[in-house]
Structure 1
Amino acid sequence: MTHAPVPVPVPAVSAPGRALRSPIGLSYAVTALLGVVVLVDLLIVAASPNMRSFLSGVTSGTADFDEDAANRADYAMAGSSGLYVAAVVAAGTLFIVWFHRVRQNAEVFAPGTQRRTPGWAIGAWFIPIANMWIPRGIAADVLRASRPDPYGGGVEGRGLLNAWWGAWVCSLVFDRYASRTYDRAEDAEAIHDAAALVLAGAGIDIFAAVLAVLFVRRITSMQHAKALAGRTAPSA
């Protein structure tokens, strides 16, 4: 695992209208909020089997319907889902701020490697369907610019980028499917089956969040090291 860099002043770059800004502080905050997302996912992991266990007894006829137990199971599912939405919004917002910061730095390191302007590092996330691949392309460009030799053929970090992006897309699609299935479930058996989907979605989401943390740390560490080495594009 890549260790987080020790915060030290990042030298400014004397290029007109451009200057490096350290992403380290933002990376710590993003990592912390992604950790909160994982913790909330674990609450969902606990709530889903509890709901399934309660409904198994009801549907099989081995247990009488207990309204208090039903309410507790329902509150656990609803509460953890609400916390998840709040955690994802907070983590996602700060991630986009960090993403824009490292994209701006990439413009300083190797502007010729960037296919889209820095504004796309924010706007691309809000374009339906296109947000499934445009941010990944921006991330690949940032990764390239953050390497010691951005114009070489290095592959450092590409595997992690692909793994994180694939896991994130899978999590996004599966979570929506699981949530809609659970919300539309009306009878005990349907809710029981939908809770299994919610449980699986939480597992995929945890995996994606962990990979996101590793990716944030990797890009931050690469940019930090490159800034300290003074490897930046010539002044225009």
Structure 2
Amino acid sequence: MPCALCGDIIPTEVARCPACGAWARRRDFRAIGVAVFMLLGFNAFIALGSGISLLRLERPLERLTRDGYDAASTGRALAPYADVFTVSAVLAGITGVLYLAWLWRAYRQASGPRPYHRRWVILGWLVPVVNLWLPPRMVHDVWVSSGRFTPAGRYAVGAVVTAWWGSVLAAIGLAQAFPGGVASLAEARFSVHLGVAAAACQALAAALCMLTVFQITRLQIDRPLAT
């Protein structure tokens, strides 16, 4: 198999890359991180495309009057976007499974203090109420424990994680609310605005998650693995 760090071909029975000396555990972790990063990028691309497409519907609606508004045609135009959000949710679920596998490894390999048991890497996303605050806390702890940060650096990490989690929650809530009513022109305009906001939050959440995955993977690849 090719080494994830240098690209050299490594026999399966060899634990370290003969070219760069990378351990197999690091190769595997790097490979998972790259896969999660690429899937998150695909999520962001779909969300961004949906938002731009919805913005194109906004201008015609702004020019319409109540007398010229056709609820049936507007409903048909907005219906596919509900399917897009459903597909995005399924894709996010698939990405989430691989992301949890990556986070499980990252939490185990973090060199700093880990205040929570590793099982909460999974349970934190499943237990009601707890899943509203524990996942970002776990990601923050892994990120900070994977490197050496100044107080300003820790603040920046916290700001990125908070922005990511806020975008996730906003994207879920807005996507659940879409599509809104299209019985009137005002309701149709509101639905389009809601869809654009949901797509923007999805794209932002995916982009910020890409940043966390990249930084944590890089830090853990560069430092000795915890035992």
Give the structure-1-normalised TM-score: 0.74
Question: For 1:113-166, what per-residue CA distance to the aligned partner results, in whole angstroms no more than 9, with x for missing partners?
Answer: 111111111111122232232123322332233226xxxx74585345323322
Distance 2:27 2:108 in 1: 8
Matching residue's letter, 2:50:
I
The change in CA–CA distance for 1:157 and 1:29 in structure 2 (over 3 A counts) is farther
Specify every segment of 5 or more residues in structure 1 that has no aligned partner in the other structure, as ranges. Answer: 13-18
Q: What residue is the counterpart of 2:47 in the other structure?
A: 41
Q: What residue is the counterpart of 1:16 in the other structure?
A: none
Structure 1 residue 119 corresponds to structure 2 residue 102: no
The Cα shift of 1:59 comes to 4.2
The Cα shift of 1:100 comes to 0.6
2:92 aligns with one of 88, 91, 113: 88
**Does structure 1 retain, via aligned residues, the 8 Å contact 2:44–2:206?**
yes
1:216 aligns with one of 192, 213, 220: 213
SS at match of 2:178: helix
Matching residue's letter, 1:38:
A
**Does structure 2 retain, via aligned residues, the 8 Å contact 1:146–1:219?**
yes
1:162 aligns with one of 152, 158, 161: 158
**Does structure 1 retain, via aligned residues, the 8 Å contact 2:82–2:179?**
no
Distance 2:71 2:143 in 1: 55
The Cα shift of 1:72 comes to 5.1
SS at match of 1:23: helix
2:70 aligns with one of 39, 44, 65: 65
Structure 1 residue 101 corresponds to structure 2 residue 105: yes
**Does structure 1 retain, via aligned residues, the 8 Å contact 2:144–2:157?**
no
The Cα shift of 1:220 comes to 0.6
Distance 1:165 1:217 in 2: 13
Distance 1:221 1:146 in 2: 9
**Does structure 1 retain, via aligned residues, the 8 Å contact 2:5–2:22?**
no
**Does structure 2 retain, via aligned residues, the 8 Å contact 1:171–1:201?**
no
The change in CA–CA distance for 1:221 and 1:179 in structure 2 (over 3 A counts) is closer
Give the structure-2-normalised TM-score: 0.76
Matches within 5 A, 1:70-81: 70=74, 73-81=77-85
2:192 aligns with one of 176, 192, 195: 195
Distance 2:105 2:226 in 1: 16
> Of the two structures, which has the highest relative contact order with CA contacts closer than 8 Å and spacing of 6 or more?
1
Matching residue's letter, 1:11:
W
Identical pairs, percent: 22
Matching residue's letter, 2:160:
W
Higher mean C-alpha displacement, 185-194 vs 118-127: 185-194
